[in-house]
Amino acid sequence: IPVTLLDLKTEISEKARDKIFKSKPPLLFDKSKVKNIEIGNINDHFDTVKKADWIVEAVVERIDIKQALYKKIFKIRKKESIVSSNTSTIPLKVLSQNLSKEDKKDFCITHFFNPVRYMDLLEIVKNEFTDKEKINFLKIFCESLLGKGVILCNDTPGFLGNRVGVYAMQVAMTEALKMKLSIEEADSIFARPMGIPKTGVFGLYDLIGIDLMSDVLKSFIKELPKTDEFHLVAQEIPLINKLITTGYTGRKGKGGFYRINKSSGKKTLEALNLETGQYSPARKINIQSDKVDLKELINRDDQYGKYAWSVLSKIIKYAS
């Protein structure tokens, strides 16, 4: 499938293509296919949009920038094409508010999850204006040719993946605080034993960015009705506010719930004590199980079993 990658400058597109080619783990099934990716910039090569069957916008999460780009796209795109946004948070109704009724039929959200090659899930977000036939065509295309597991979502806050996923993260964090578990203990349970990546909830917070997660929560609080149980787990936590204000925003900052302490020529992974706010060398927690067995995990007669069941039961209830 030929693809054209456009960015502000051709040099940026070229670096992106090079990064795709060299990435480890690999982002391409067959590295020779990198030649199918043509590059350019949005000023000199925007006319390539005229030939495209599917135009995917993946610019910065600013509504004004996105809508300005849509104005240019819909002015020259061919009428049978599909235009979509890769946004993970902005509602479809907001993105499309300046589009004509006809253009709204061909516009949707296609939310890919990173890393795209390894994450099967693809959310296609539609609303009452979207052309159902085109959406079904896009769904079949993504399933059969891109190998995606596609779910069709309504235009609700967080769509489906982020709505449940962020709730799950917040439950895992708030329950750990309530039960006075260390971050290492919580991350040893809310990880591979529950079929979740080994980062755990606090490690994932650091990876995403503690400040970004704070903004995401504020967005959900604003959009969701007061009766939604999400509000119970999205309240501000003083410790998190302190981390953000002091520059401890996660891996991109000075550290977060974890940090690397470089002293005496050595690198030591340290973990934050949730009660004292102090760092100490991270502990390796052995829960005597590294396989996914939820039944065994939630039936453990210890604090880890109680934590697992408390988190899992709340997630299942919310998702249902």
The answer to whether 135 touches 82, Cβ cutoff 8 Å, is no
Amino acid at 266: K
Give strand pairing partners of 263.
Answer: 266
The answer to whether 82 touches 142, Cβ cutoff 8 Å, is no
| Residues of each domain in the chain carrying CATH 1.10.1040 | 161-319
In the DSSP assignment, the letter for residue 226 is: T
| Residues of each domain in the chain carrying CATH 3.40.50.720 | 54-155
Question: What's the CA gap between 298 and 315, in Å, rounded?
Answer: 14
Average model confidence (pLDDT) for the chain?
93
The tens digit of pLDDT for each residue in 39-73 reads 999 999 999 999 999 999 999 888 999 999 999 99
Closest residue by Cα to residue 230 from 220, 244, 241 = 220
Identify the band that residue 199 occupies on the pLDDT scale cut at 50, 70 and 90.
Answer: confident
Strands (E), the chain: 3-7, 37-41, 54-57, 82-85, 107-112, 121-126, 149-154, 258-263, 266-272, 279-281
Token pair belonging to 257: 């719930």
pLDDT of 182? 96
Residue 295 CB coordination number (10 Å): 6
| Per-residue pLDDT at 202 exceeds 70 | yes
161-319 architecture in CATH? Orthogonal Bundle (1.10)
The tens digit of pLDDT for each residue in 211-258 reads 989 988 988 898 899 999 999 999 889 999 999 999 999 988 899 999
The tens digit of pLDDT for each residue in 131-175 reads 999 999 999 999 999 999 999 999 998 899 889 999 999 999 999
Question: Taking the model in full, what pTM does it have?
Answer: 0.76
For 54-155, give the CATH class. Answer: alpha beta
| Per-residue pLDDT at 290 exceeds 70 | no
Closest residue by Cα to residue 23 from 122, 142, 115, 120 = 115
pLDDT of 263? 82
